[in-house]
Structure 1
């Protein structure tokens, strides 16, 4: 059934069908003839939304009857959307010279039945008001679409910036465990050794391993190679190879390499290096027997750290090795963890202590249960009623087994606001231990219709606030943060939480997991969406006709034939993720899937399919190819709803790598893009004309041309890659005359990266004048010259600075130059002699990272560290990488 967010999206589509004339799909005689019907339906829907969900008098009505009317209305709206989508598909199929596959695609638009349903609902509502059946407003529990929920959502959105302040993970009771594991990993034994951490699900094995893995002394001791490999129940040899190789060298063409070559590379990259390999969540002895063959035994102190629920697996890996069994938290440590998670350093109110201690006892010291329940209590931190209710509910659960733990986790779902439930359950469809990229996930949520518009914030920003709420509730685990500002870039689910998602999703029929080619599909109304997550290498010959989403996690080459043969089933798709499917050709009939909002495709052959521009509802397009340059057609601007256009190469770990370029030689009209990665514009085409509303941009710029970004008034993140024509002349002194990059920048800019722009240090005044700049990355001679004198410059808001592969020799600066700096990185600046000692006096500085620089620079950093520690500043951390 439609959510309120999906209803908002449907209303927006109707508005476009009524008013938009600048698109060949909409500006069609058949569609124009039906505009009176679209207008009437839009007005009727708007009136019903106001009546049922917004007007305050609903609080005086019988709740059960009101909710029944809302359900009837939503079912009718679902049916209306289905009818209109089928109608639009039929129009588009005929316009493209194809024969409709069924009679309902040939017919005219008929909305009489659904409008009568709306009228019936309205009549019953008026009758109910007339009866004046008043109820206590405290009984109103419908939190989907009423005023109280709107206030709740607005509050969540308004505080998302505060929620986005990343708190360090709170861990208690494992300091002794960390020391024990560290000492064993760094002992004097030269022979390859295996250390194991064992315990039940949710006890904190991965948390302990992560704490050890990221410890500075471990990072220094295993400076050559540290690799994290997640195995899980389903062992995939190739996936293990790729995880290792991406950790040690991420520029290899891994996807097109066979398993034998991958194994050779793994051995080559680990050979003669002191390495630490963490193998997380290993389930079977046979799996260990296979993975151990990859690791060379060089007698140089290398180590393997295993985590497993099964002692027998650990004993099989190393019978005489250290097998560390994690125990349940003692009551006092459990209470400490709960209080820290809920109150973040403040004292627990005395009147909550008794139910709080009862909750701790009921969780029996299982950290996962404690932190997830803490996520519920934090949102209800001053409601004794909720605390008592949870204490009573958990009293009957036995947490020593998985089922008992699942029951406690299920409580977190019970207290989850309704606007978060679909977003949360959706995560269960992804493979076990899947690493979610935040931008991709939030775009999927928007495309699925899960995000409810509130205020003037974008749906993407609201979706991110939803994710932060799930993280704050400890239901989603942060796996990767952006180093520059600690923003969450990747996340994952604990496998028990994923199991909860699957159970609840099955109950609510949100997700249909495909496990075999003969899976019998449940018979549901055609307007009820079905979402498929396909991660098994089986051939599918049939699909239900009410599919709205398909996400592939395997290379499914027969897809082109399947789409052609089952087009009737795919016709109403809104989400199609094919980025694991290496397709030689663009699938036949793909251009007819006009309801797609999200498309991710991996296309091996040359050329951007111009027919993509017919998919006018597209919001997010991810294009994956091995071609370095992909030419965009000028009619790309027909994608009037497109907000995100991303590209990347298959070998890149970052799905928006700078390596692949979109080239746009011309454009028909401006686009409403918010983010676009790696674009280069043709002669005479400017960014203001193309993307006036862009917030995040990665692009290639040319020397001796005006590169004006100052007019982009919404731009916050910018990455520039300099391009210089071949040298045609040299000066009398033999110096290369390659031209100069000219740029102007907007005051709104918060993050700037310069790659190969060769700007002189005198141009730093352009950047220093940006009032909101927080992140600055200079890479591969982004600036060039022997000396950067920043003593008279002030970068007032700069928090992150990276200097990488520059020819700089001297850097002059003091603590007043960067008063807000938190994180400094210097990588491969082999000529830089030292870091100014005054940098250490910056009061906000937390971390200095040095990689592959000269000895004198390393010495200056050590001196800064010693001076700061001697003066009592123990917060400054220094990390050297080889």
Structure 2
């Protein structure tokens, strides 16, 4: 039951040192402790009811009443704390006259705590009157659970890493489908623009198959322009912008009209053979906004879409038969299960045959159902008998006419029920985002932390999660949040996309699970999705109040005059980025009304990422409790000076805005850990309070910067640093960087007074043992020895005359290397034998002087992807690499003769041996 998850979050908030200090000072700590202990005892009753499958309507009503008490406790304590903060912020004279108010507030708090204690007594009495309640009146948990459905699935958390699914497992049974679709798409006989549709039931693997086709070598060779968009985004503007960004980010004008975007798209697709994939099309109107923007040049361009509706597929292109995706065969279905689940070693052949027969009859060849069931069965602690219980559960005995989507939802529910309580709020939080929305990991982790969902110490032990470089850190909130995310990924509850180095870049929730958690979040009033005024009718009238609002429509319709709809608000996230013609006045009006109702807000999260120029209230600083302020890509020119009055702000994200200055008062933020700006000169003269800072990205340093006078010794905890500088001497700068022992990511750009790349006097950085990512833009005369910990390295405009490869080859952990424009201006390059032992991806861009490249035997043994772009004088690909079949070679704007030679060798490799 998710009520327990909410209670655990509230208890964690009360453990905040600032709140503990406040209630201790006012002599109510003992009362609060008694209340929380009583609530914990009542929580065990709810757990017992769920275990015994006795969660009837009467118990649900009691659970809501329990939740009301929990929320009331949270509101009372936080409001009191913020009231004290409000008084402390006044001047001395005002504070003297407010002493009596302070004393009164303390008395009010004690009285309110007593009221909550009385409500708990009444709640206990009503519990005893409920019918069919297990352990009647006994606040004790049973020693063992009687149902595998409630306990057995939770065993998954004990070995969550054992069922991480490799991407290969999802394409089992699709090889022939992939071959046929690739043949259709690359058919040179059909030169006009054609639409090819993949049709299949929910969970049948349409998107997986489309991704396999889209990423295949044959498709990459045949089409010189490929674009993938999801139909879940709004049509046509967001789709047009998404397509243009994938073609060339530099041509995107966020403020252009739709007609201008269409014209620009036609212009950039002219003379290109392109492939557009539109995923998850559910209506006839989805493609209508795109047809006018895509030219038909009779050069073999194609559009491929996935859909569950045959009528949509037929209307997209009546000339072509839709490609009907069939369920997996019994053998392929069993093979996929074995890829996603491990059977105990002691299972006999007869038992395995019985499992296989029952499994095949239940899943009916639907890949999503198979993978989901694999997640349920993937733990060695689950016995053979318990696996049979899952397969024989009555909820699997569906009528043959029912949709396979029901099966996917059952699987999603079971996997959700297997989650430990500390992960449930984190998973439910995905429901705040629009369906199919790809959430950047940096955004998600910061939001979880700001909301108070992350415990101070993770409940997982070293046996629960394998030790990796990502989870052996010091246990900061961000590190714990990262472990939470990894566990959700391991349980296959969300999907991820990876960045260049293989780390998780963004994640998205599966559709059937998204639908499920919305209903669960609604029951506990975790958040409200606001689209229209009608959406709020039930939420606004609830006695629990609205605690989080996600705006998917227009916030001007929000009924702020209803106290219950605004006075308990903790978070406001807006996804209304459709109208970019005028600043968003409604956002400012809404926030002003919140301040008016609350006086000083309980708001912890204000996330307006991608909202066009939202108007912020001047008294934004009254949101004393704000922990997260996200204004990335809002194109704002200024922020209110009062932003410096947010004492507990942890994240301030101003990246991709037009903000050129910030008030000096931001350095009073003792809790600020993450600051993103864009080429902003900061006055660091008051920096002594910012020792907590971990991220400082977008800093501009020149001779006028106070940093040169005051130093940056306070920033020893920095993990991520990005700065651009123009200095006569950068010696002091590099000495400071060398002292940042915790640094993990570094981006340095050296510019001259005209804004062009200039000299970057790279110094040895031997002490940066944690540095993983490095991006250097500027002229480097000689490449010195770099930190051995580097995994990702980008060099641009380095103008190196000496071959850098012998030095780079010695980096033992380097997996991704990009030598960008004019990074090397020599004519010969040699990769020594046994070098680059871990390198997987290599990109050589615009090395215009390079003529000969030699790779010695034994070098780059693990190379998987090689991209060469605009190296116009390079004569040939190294012979050692030419004959490795495991390497994917991508050539862009290379001489025809070079391309011909590479393709000829690849064709020879594909021929059968004699």
Is 1:550 the equivalent of 2:572?
Answer: yes
Alignment partner, residue 191 of structure 1: 192
2:591–2:616: 8 Å Cα contact kept in structure 1? no
**1:833-858 deviations in Å (ceiling 9; x for gaps):** 2332227643332222222223535x
**1:20-54 deviations in Å (ceiling 9; x for gaps):** xxxxxxxxxxx7x9824366567768988999999
Give aligned pairs, total: 814
Q: CA deviation at 1:536?
A: 1.6
Structure 1 pair 608–523 and aligned structure 2 pair: CA distance change class (3 A) = closer
Q: CA deviation at 1:105?
A: 11
1:547–1:569: 8 Å Cα contact kept in structure 2? no
Q: CA deviation at 1:177?
A: 0.6
Pick aligned residue for 1:138 from 138, 144, 160? 144
Q: CA deviation at 1:821?
A: 2.0
1:505–1:511: 8 Å Cα contact kept in structure 2? yes
Is 1:643 the equivalent of 2:654?
Answer: no
Give unpaired runs (5+ residues) of structure 1.
Answer: 20-30, 648-658, 729-735, 869-873
Alignment partner, residue 241 of structure 1: 240
1:335–1:357: 8 Å Cα contact kept in structure 2? no
Q: CA deviation at 1:226?
A: 0.6
How far apart, CA to CA, are the structure 2 residues paired with 1:142 and 1:528? Answer: 36
Alignment partner, residue 24 of structure 1: none
Q: CA deviation at 1:569?
A: 5.0
How far apart, CA to CA, are the structure 1 residues paired with 2:834 and 2:641? Answer: 53
Is 1:709 the equivalent of 2:737?
Answer: yes
What SS is found at the alignment partner of 2:374? helix
Structure 1 pair 748–529 and aligned structure 2 pair: CA distance change class (3 A) = farther
How far apart, CA to CA, are the structure 1 residues paired with 2:674 and 2:337? Answer: 40
What SS is found at the alignment partner of 1:581? coil
Q: CA deviation at 1:523?
A: 6.0
1:4-19 superposed matches below 5 A: 6-7=9-10, 9-13=12-16, 15-16=17-18
2:169–2:340: 8 Å Cα contact kept in structure 1? no
2:687–2:714: 8 Å Cα contact kept in structure 1? no
Alignment partner, residue 433 of structure 1: 436
Alignment partner, residue 732 of structure 1: none
Q: CA deviation at 1:379?
A: 4.1
Q: CA deviation at 1:255?
A: 2.3
**1:314-340 deviations in Å (ceiling 9; x for gaps):** 211211214100011121111111110
1:66-215 superposed matches below 5 A: 78-91=71-84, 95=89, 108-109=105-106, 110-113=108-111, 115-116=113-114, 137-139=143-145, 170-188=170-188, 189-215=190-216
**1:410-445 deviations in Å (ceiling 9; x for gaps):** 222222332222222221231122111111112212
**1:239-279 deviations in Å (ceiling 9; x for gaps):** 11111111101134532111121111111111111111111
Pick aligned residue for 2:515 from 486, 496, 499? 499
Alignment partner, residue 800 of structure 1: 816
Pick aligned residue for 1:751 from 759, 763, 772? 772
How far apart, CA to CA, are the structure 1 residues paired with 2:365 and 2:758? Answer: 69
How far apart, CA to CA, are the structure 2 residues paired with 1:835 and 1:866? Answer: 12
Q: CA deviation at 1:585?
A: 4.3
How far apart, CA to CA, are the structure 2 residues paired with 1:830 and 1:483? Answer: 24
How far apart, CA to CA, are the structure 2 residues paired with 1:814 and 1:52? Answer: 68
**1:201-229 deviations in Å (ceiling 9; x for gaps):** 21111111111111122112112x11112
What SS is found at the alignment partner of 1:294? coil
Alignment partner, residue 339 of structure 2: 340
What SS is found at the alignment partner of 1:286? coil
How far apart, CA to CA, are the structure 1 residues paired with 2:166 and 2:217? Answer: 20
What SS is found at the alignment partner of 2:287? helix
Structure 1 pair 45–823 and aligned structure 2 pair: CA distance change class (3 A) = farther
Please report the RMSD computed on the Cα atoms of aligned residues, expressed in angstroms. Answer: 4.3
Alignment partner, residue 851 of structure 1: 869
How far apart, CA to CA, are the structure 1 residues paired with 2:623 and 2:452? Answer: 17
Pick aligned residue for 2:641 from 601, 610, 613? 610
Q: CA deviation at 1:807?
A: 3.5
Alignment partner, residue 699 of structure 1: 723
Structure 1 pair 237–700 and aligned structure 2 pair: CA distance change class (3 A) = same
* TM-score normalised by L of structure 2: 0.79
**1:449-484 deviations in Å (ceiling 9; x for gaps):** 222332551222222222222222222122x21112
How far apart, CA to CA, are the structure 2 residues paired with 1:142 and 1:46? Answer: 30
Give unpaired runs (5+ residues) of structure 2.
Answer: 55-59, 125-134, 459-473, 578-583, 894-914
Pick aligned residue for 1:775 from 778, 789, 792? 792
What SS is found at the alignment partner of 1:522? helix
Is 1:723 the equivalent of 2:751?
Answer: yes
Is 1:218 the equivalent of 2:208?
Answer: no
Is 1:516 the equivalent of 2:518?
Answer: no
2:271–2:297: 8 Å Cα contact kept in structure 1? yes
How far apart, CA to CA, are the structure 2 residues paired with 1:112 and 1:142? Answer: 44
Alignment partner, residue 311 of structure 1: 310
